[in-house]
């Protein structure tokens, strides 16, 4: 296979990017882990003053992402946690936020890091939240994906 590899991420090629983080407020402890991981990843790349906005729940992430995408941001990171309950509400929220963010990203050309956990129970969420004892750090991962995509887009502009 030929072609260029993805640009390496560093303070030098990322520090000037305008980035916004949008975070839902359900499941406070898990959200704290996701937001901390995201902010740590941004600091590592020299993005010290991202815009950070809170929304009530994950369902509200796409509308705010859409408005931000029209305001010159290079990348957006959407963070949320949806945990399955006893009704079909889980499916509707997961579907709404996933399709909504996908649509905003594709329609606007602004990369959106998808840091929305969709879990069967609290333990699955904690395991992925970048907290002490977590196996994964999805807030950090969502930032890396969004910034990597933004730098790729910049390299072809």
Binding-site members for (2S)-2-hydroxy-3-oxobutyl phosphate are 86-87, 128
97-103: long-range pairs with CB below 8 Å, 24+ = 97/58, 97/59, 97/61, 97/62, 100/61, 100/62, 100/63, 100/65, 101/61, 101/62, 101/65, 103/62
Q: Is residue 89 annotated as a catalytic residue, yes or no?
A: yes
Tell me if 58 contacts ligand DLZ by CB under 6 A: yes
Q: Does 81 bind ligand DLZ (CB under 6 A)?
A: yes
Q: Which of 80, 111, 113, 115 binds ligand DLZ (CB under 6 A)?
A: 80
Among 14, 35, 37, 60, binds ligand DLZ (CB under 6 A): 60
Among 30, 93, 94, 126, indicate the residue that binds ligand DLZ (CB under 6 A): 93
Q: What is the closest distance, in whole angstroms, from the C-beta atom of residue 46 to ligand DLZ in the complex? A: 30
CA angle at residue 79 from 73 to 150, to 5 degrees? 35
**Contact set with ligand DLZ (CB under 6 A):** 24, 26, 56-60, 80-83, 85, 89, 93
């Amino acid at each position: 296979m030929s072609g260029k590899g993805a640009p390496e991420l560093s303070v030098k090629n990322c520090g000037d990017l305008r980035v916004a983080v949008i975070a839902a407020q359900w499941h406070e402890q898990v959200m704290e882990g996701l937001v901390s991981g995201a902010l740590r990843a941004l600091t590592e790349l020299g993005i010290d003053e991202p815009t950070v906005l809170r929304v009530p729940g994950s369902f509200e992430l796409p509308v705010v992402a859409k408005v931000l995408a029209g305001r010159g941001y290079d990348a957006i990171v959407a963070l949320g946690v949806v945990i399955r309950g006893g009704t079909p509400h889980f499916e509707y929220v997961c579907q709404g936020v996933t399709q909504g963010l996908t649509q905003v990203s594709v329609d606007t050309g602004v990369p959106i890091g998808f840091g929305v956990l969709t879990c069967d129970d609290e333990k699955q969420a904690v395991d992925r939240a970048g907290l002490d004892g977590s196996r994964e750090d999805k807030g950090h991962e969502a930032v890396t994906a969004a910034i990597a995509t933004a730098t790729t887009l910049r390299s072809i502009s």
